[in-house]
Amino acid sequence: MKNLEILGLEPAKVGNVVKGLNQLLADFQVYYMNLRGLHWNVKGKGFFTLHEKYEELYNDAANKVDEIAERILQLDAIPENRFSEYLKVASIKEDGFQQKGSEGIDIVLGTLKNLIQQERNLIKTAEEANDEVTVAIMDEYLQQQEKTVWMLVSFLSEHK
């Protein structure tokens, strides 16, 4: 017996949810690596604060990657695990930046804007499929990310 039969979800409707989750997974994987780069290469004013913040953000992204992949499996699909495939579909691009100070925060905010839009769209798709669990996961992500955006924008107001 398949998961969807037990969960009472229609495979045709869930297919669009899985597609959105796979897109989000690819983008979170690239975001994670970009955050690692920011963490490793931060320099200048605010080094200690930003070094720690980037680490917090990439740990959070790693947890979300795992949660998204597990949700895909729960929906009877297989998550992609090849970085080469992520790069083909990701809307977030790799960046080999070596930013100074708070410049990296602008990159993070741009990425969060992208992820937030994807998550809002995924909520609509999941609602159409009666997939309340995916909706709840995305709601939690949005709650955390909106607070992060507020904090990062507040941080930038002092450092520009």
pLDDT tens profile 10-65? 999 999 999 999 999 999 999 999 999 999 998 888 889 999 999 999 999 999 99
On whether residue 62 sits in a domain, the answer given is yes
Calpha distance 11→18 (Å, rounded) = 10
Q: How many domains does the chain have?
A: 1
What percent of the chain is predicted at pLDDT more than 90? Answer: 85
Contacts of 90 (CB under 8 A, 6+ apart): 26, 27, 29, 30
Q: What is the pLDDT of residue 44?
A: 84
- Closest to 3 in 3D by CA, of 76, 60, 65: 76
Q: What is the pLDDT of residue 93?
A: 92
On whether residue 8 sits in a domain, the answer given is no
pLDDT band for position 83 (cuts 50, 70, 90): very high
On whether residue 82 sits in a domain, the answer given is yes
What percent of the chain is predicted at pLDDT more than 70? Answer: 95
Domain of residue 100 covers 13-159
What is the CATH classification number for the domain harbouring 89?
A: 1.20.1260.10
Q: What is the pLDDT of residue 1?
A: 61
Q: What is the pLDDT of residue 98?
A: 67
99 or 66, which is more confident?
Answer: 66
Give the DSSP letter string of 1-16: --HHHHHT--HHHHHH
pLDDT for residue 159 is more than 70: no
